[in-house]
Amino acid sequence: MSDVRVRIAPSPTGPLHIGTARTALFNFLYARHTGGTFILRLEDTDVARSTEAFERDILEGLHGLGLTWDEGPAAGDLGERGPYGPYRQMARLPLYAAAARRLLDADLAYPCSCTPDELEAERRRQEAAGEPPRYPGTCAGLSEAERAARAVEGRPSALRFRVPPGVVAFDDIVRGRVEIDAAALGGDFVIVRADGTPLYHFTVVVDDAEMGITHVIRGEDHLSNTPKHILLFRALGHDVPAFAHLPLILNPDRTKMSKRKSQTAVDDYVAQGFIREALVNYLALLGWSTGTEEEILSLDEIVARFDLSAVNRAGAVFDRERLEWMNGQWIRRLDPDDLADRLLPFLDADRILGRIERLPSFDEVRAIVPLVQERLPVLGAISDVAGFLFVEMPDLDPALCVPKRWDAATTVDGLGAAQDAVEANGEVAFDAEGLEATLRALAEARGWKAGDLFMAIRVAVTGRTATPPLFETLAALGFARTLARLARARDLVRGLDAPV
């Protein structure tokens, strides 16, 4: 066990976001690689927007990806574990109040009774003068007597942190040296609102300090907050943790990843049949690489190789096509029984949606795994690939049955001949090898190109031009259903020639 302590601190104000999952993953990887401790803390102080449903979505979503934490709320119930609890900010209010009191007593923070109107008037004046927004320090130098007088007036007061002058510098593990002049921080900032609610900059530092966080690994969007946090760590008399700001995740047009341009909820990926192995593999490569060509890596393999200092600075484009490719690679690697198990809920959903007519048994799905395993970019594509097996009759456009080099009459002839040959072969010899031999012999005897005959049969029995291998498909469909579908397709194609 090392003394590394890292955390993910999601706000339960929305479903688990790809960016949060990536940040959680990198914290998890660093903790597991170093033998440290991974903590989950819920930043639920935005009471109006936080919900228990979002909280559950985040906790269960992270667990579903295999990202487990050592301290924090347990997924699935409201318990929590770890010696630094509570791990929900709303249950930590007394700790923030005590820390605020310490800063106030040391005159490192002061009450500010400026009204929203006064602040707004000042902001407008600055805007008109072309100055950057900044608290002018109206309440910073009030004497005790002046403060007391304002309190008597009944003015509610917020608490502002006194920003000391000077440059705040730190060595970010990803970004290198960062130096920001405290003068650019917008003046003394509010840490506790007039109604007593503590603000993010304050709670995050109090918690990171109290929880002994050694490395703050988070998105680059927080980089500009870090100087404020460093000043607060120092004011509270705590060691300043190391920082690692992860590159932004970008839409394909290189703007910051957004709901409008990309699918951002992890749940939505899971619902489409992206599997956890592929999601964590892909997320790990959003900002990190092995330094080799290798890109298909399990979570354990990534843990073994992960190096925080090898994280890139450049923004990482979220490329859905690449994720689909990777997902297909991972689906191929699944144990067939496991894949069959994972496909069943998708088939059930498709049944409810009416895309297939009946839910196959585990054994039926297991039997077709060899046909579909290499053809699924996502589990949710199962009915596109093999749904024709689980309907009475597939939708069929008879024109599609007619191969390019054939006409309708030849197709009627071909389907009829195939039907006869299969029937003559009998039910006993109905397997992929036997079917292939029979149908090849038929094509040869009739002087047809095998490809044309096979295409006509393929469309006739599945309704589609692209399917798993034909003879295995027929075998999966079975003797009687194959014959029935050939007969029906033949009738429909014959109808193509009928006068309108």
Nearer to ligand GLU, 204 or 340 (CB): 204
User: Burial of 379 by CB count in 10 Å (0-12 exposed, 13-18 middle, 19+ buried)?
Assistant: buried
Helical H runs in 132-275?
A: 144-152, 200-210, 226-235, 266-272
Closest distance to ligand GLU from the beta carbon of 84 (Å): 16
Closest distance to ligand GLU from the beta carbon of 207 (Å): 9
Closest distance to ligand GLU from the beta carbon of 41 (Å): 8
Nearer to ligand GLU, 89 or 410 (CB): 89
DSSP-derived pairing of the beta strands 242-246 and 215-219: parallel
Binding site for ligand GLU (CB under 6 A): 9-11, 43, 204, 218, 222
% helix, strand, coil for the chain, step of 5: 50, 10, 35
Closest distance to ligand GLU from the beta carbon of 221 (Å): 8
Please give the full DSSP string across 116-161, using - where no structure is assigned.
Answer: HHHHHHHHHHHHHTTPPP----TTTT--HHHHHHHHHTT---EEEE
Closest distance to ligand GLU from the beta carbon of 204 (Å): 5
Tokens at residue 53, please? 């449903």
Tokens at residue 371, please? 């046909």
228 is catalytic: no
For the chain, give the number of residues. Answer: 500
Nearer to ligand GLU, 23 or 383 (CB): 23
Task: Using alpha carbons, select from 332, 345, 218 the residue that is nearest to residue 277.
Answer: 332
Q: Which of 259, 261, 404, 449 is catalytic?
A: 259
DSSP-derived pairing of the beta strands 176-181 and 167-172: antiparallel
235 to 88, 159, 251: CA distances (angstroms): 24, 14, 39
CA distance 137 to 494: 88
Q: CB–CB of 305/290 below 8 Å?
A: yes
Nearer to ligand GLU, 20 or 373 (CB): 20
Nearer to ligand GLU, 10 or 36 (CB): 10
Nearer to ligand GLU, 24 or 323 (CB): 24
Closest distance to ligand GLU from the beta carbon of 341 (Å): 34
Which sequence positions are flagged as catalytic? 259
